[in-house]
Amino acid sequence: MRRSWIVFSACLACSSAEEPTAEVQSYGGPAAFGGNQVPTGAAGTTGAATANTAGSTGAAAPTGNSPASVPERGVVPGGLTGAAGAATTGGSAAGGAAGAAVSGTDNGSAGASMGTAGATALPGAMQPDVGSAGTGAQPVPVEEDSCPANALFCDDFEDDVAGQFPGAPWQNQTGSGATAQVDGVQAFSGSKAVHVSAPAGQAYRRGYFSLQQGSSNIFPAASDEMFGRAMFFLDATPNAVVHWTLIQAEGRAANGTHDAYYRYGGQQQGGAGLMANYETNNNVSTDCYAHSATRMPVQRWACVEWHFRVSITAMQLYLDGNEITDMHVTDRPTTAGSGCLGNGVNGEWLAPPAFTTLHLGFERYQQPTNAQNVWVDDVVVSTQRVGCPAP
């Protein structure tokens, strides 16, 4: 489902040195998630007003569904708590017992054990006619909606047509033989994601689907400070020291002569090491870089978050909920091995006055001998940190 809101408010490359490798804990693939969310057990019967009779046991919740059998990702299998029997005036009623837990099928995890009966419900000053709920076994809290309340824009691509480029407000920024289309080969939630393909056979491939000022309402709200989150499934990083990008935010420089790009992608460690990149165009030479000890995960879903801030010329990257600290750049990087190939802005990673475009997908600038395929799902853009979907 694609959602966006109008917000009325003012609102990184090339180096040859190899870097050490850091391991990142796996976020997990789709099979790690449970069945579809299970309904709450039925309410207990009403307690008698005069005899203080307890309400009956809440009915057990149904069996959880397999993730493959439902379009929305669910993570709470098993029974939930039965509602309390209602109290009537003049007496108290005992709470209904919790619904029994039942096992989910396929990948759904088993529910917790039978909850205990609710405590006696007494009439209260504010709600004298309602008994308290049973206090049975509680499920792990989940994010039932993949679109957070603070989001400017969300998209899980379930409304898009397989085999086609995703619908508005996404803009097609593909070229040089790369493609972007919705398919069901990989999906983090639901049954669809955007598949970007960068074939082997030549150096440059550009496979972006983009949000731009004028066609997307994330701007100007996210023009000065942008937080974002997307789930990425990359089948393989380039098998050579090749510069590539997954995320790029850009805008026109203050003097109007060129565009400035904030990028996250990779290059070193045989093509697998993450990299921050700052680049400019129109003969303003920069191509600045900072390499990470962390590698981009492959053959699994990875939660990637970014934070770009114009006013302090800063950028941050998070992987599976943890900040990659050697990818945090303010003004210019200070990590060993960082630098610039050009000195057009004196080594400063000078942000544009406002970001006006966000590109997601895969762009490659040199030639490996293998192809790259990346699937992108559950995109969120906000003015606050988003976080990762609940596992």
In the prediction, which pLDDT does 149 show?
87
Cβ contact 163:182 at 8 Å: yes
Report the topology of domain 2-30+144-382: Jelly Rolls (2.60.120)
Task: Give 3-state DSSP helix, strand, coil % of the chain, rounded to 5.
Answer: 0, 30, 65
Q: Quote the Cα angle for 137-139-144, to 5°.
A: 150
Q: How many CB atoms lie within 10 A of CB 54?
A: 23
- Rounded Cα distance between 273 and 13, Å, is 13
Closest by CA to 235, choosing from 71, 368, 379, 357, is 368
What CA–CA distance (Å, rounded) separates 82 from 345?
64
- For every residue of 261-292, DSSP letters joined together read EEEEEE-TTTTTEEEEEEEE-TT----EEEEE
d(C-alpha 134, C-alpha 122), whole Å: 13
Per-residue pLDDT tens digits of the chain, which is 391 residues long: 777 754 433 333 444 333 334 444 454 443 333 333 334 444 444 444 333 444 444 444 344 333 333 333 323 333 333 344 343 333 333 434 444 433 333 333 333 334 444 443 333 333 333 333 333 333 333 344 578 888 999 999 999 999 999 999 999 999 999 999 999 999 999 999 999 999 999 999 999 999 999 999 999 999 999 999 999 999 999 999 999 999 999 999 999 999 999 999 999 999 999 999 999 999 999 999 999 999 999 999 999 999 999 999 999 999 999 999 999 999 999 999 999 999 999 999 999 999 999 999 999 999 999 999 999 999 999 999 999 998 7
Partners of residue 362 on adjacent β-strands: 207
DSSP 22: B
Query: Residues of 80-106 as b/e, b for ≥16 C-beta within 10 angstroms?
Result: bbbbbbbbbeeebbbbbbbbbbbebee
- For the chain, the domains span 2-30+144-382, 38-141
Task: Please name which of 364, 359, 358 lies closest in space to residue 178, comparing C-alpha atoms.
Answer: 364
Q: What pLDDT was estimated at residue 42?
A: 46
- Given strand 288-295, what is the order of strands in its sheet? 171-175, 205-212, 357-364, 244-252, 259-266, 273-280, 288-295, 339-340
- Residue 72's pLDDT is 32
Find where tokens 């699994």 sit.
300
- CA neighbor of 167 nearest in space, from 180, 178, 149, 177: 180
Residue 60 is predicted with a pLDDT of 43
- Residue 67 to residues 11, 64, 374: CA-CA distances in angstroms? 39, 9, 22
Say if residues 305 and 315 touch (Cβ distance below 8 Å). Answer: no
Return the half-sphere exposure (C-beta side, CA atoms, 13 A cut-off) of residue 190.
Answer: 22
State the chain's maximal CA–CA distance in angstroms. 87
**Cα–Cα–Cα angle for 268, 285, 177, rounded to 5 degrees:** 60
The pLDDT assigned to 80 comes to 36
**Could you tell me the pTM of the whole model?**
0.68
In the three-class reduction of DSSP (H, G, I as helix; E, B as strand; rest coil), residue 42 is classed as coil
Burial class (CB in 10 A: 0-12, 13-18, 19+), 242: buried
Distance, in Å, from the CA atom of 280 to the CA atom of 181, rounded to the nearest integer, reads 28
